[in-house]
Amino acid sequence: MLSSLGSGQLIARTGRYKIFPVIGSVLMVIGMGLMTMIGADTALWQTDIYMAVFGIGLGLNMQSLVLAMQNAVEAKDMGVASSSSTFFRSIGGTLGTAIFLSVLFSSAGSKIKTEYAKAATDPSFLAAAKANPGQVASLHQHLGSGLDDTSFLNGLSKPLSHPFFVVFSSAADVVFVIVAVLLLLGVLFSCMLKEVPLRMVSGNQARARAEAAAASEGAVAASIEDEIEPRPTPPTRSGASPEGRVNARPTRGCPAALDRAAGHRASQARVGAGGGGRGAPLGLARWPGREEESGPAMSSSERPSASTPRKTSTTAPMIITPAPIR
DSSP secondary structure letters along 32-78:
HHHHTT--TT--HHHHHHHHHHHHHHHHHHHHHHHHHHHHHS-GGGH
236 belongs to a structural domain: no
pLDDT tens digits, 17-55: 889 999 999 999 999 999 999 988 889 999 999 999 999
Structural domains counted in the chain: 1
List strand residue ranges (DSSP E) for the chain, in order: 285-286, 319-320
CATH number at residue 173: 1.20.1250
Q: Determine the Cα–Cα distance for residues 253 and 257; give it in Å rounded to an integer.
A: 9
178 belongs to a structural domain: yes
In terms of Cβ atoms closer than 10 Å to its own Cβ (0-12, 13-18, 19+), residue 254 is: middle
pLDDT at 251: 46
Q: Determine the Cα–Cα distance for residues 295 and 104; give it in Å rounded to an integer.
A: 117
Q: Determine the Cα–Cα distance for residues 238 and 240; give it in Å rounded to an integer.
A: 6
30 belongs to a structural domain: yes
pLDDT at 51: 94
35 belongs to a structural domain: yes
113 belongs to a structural domain: yes
242 belongs to a structural domain: no
177 belongs to a structural domain: yes
Terminal Cα distance for the chain, rounded: 84
pLDDT at 176: 94
pLDDT tens digits, 81-95: 888 888 998 999 899
Domain interval for residue 49: 2-208
Q: Determine the Cα–Cα distance for residues 50 and 56; give it in Å rounded to an integer.
A: 10
Q: Determine the Cα–Cα distance for residues 169 and 233; give it in Å rounded to an integer.
A: 90
Nearest to 139 by CA among 107, 112, 178: 112
pLDDT at 76: 78
240 belongs to a structural domain: no
Point out which residues pair with 319 in neighbouring strands: 286
Residues of the chain whose pLDDT is less than 70?
145-147, 200-207, 218, 220-223, 225-326
pLDDT at 282: 42
pLDDT at 233: 57
Nearest to 253 by CA among 276, 225, 286, 211: 225
Q: Determine the Cα–Cα distance for residues 104 and 98; give it in Å rounded to an integer.
A: 10
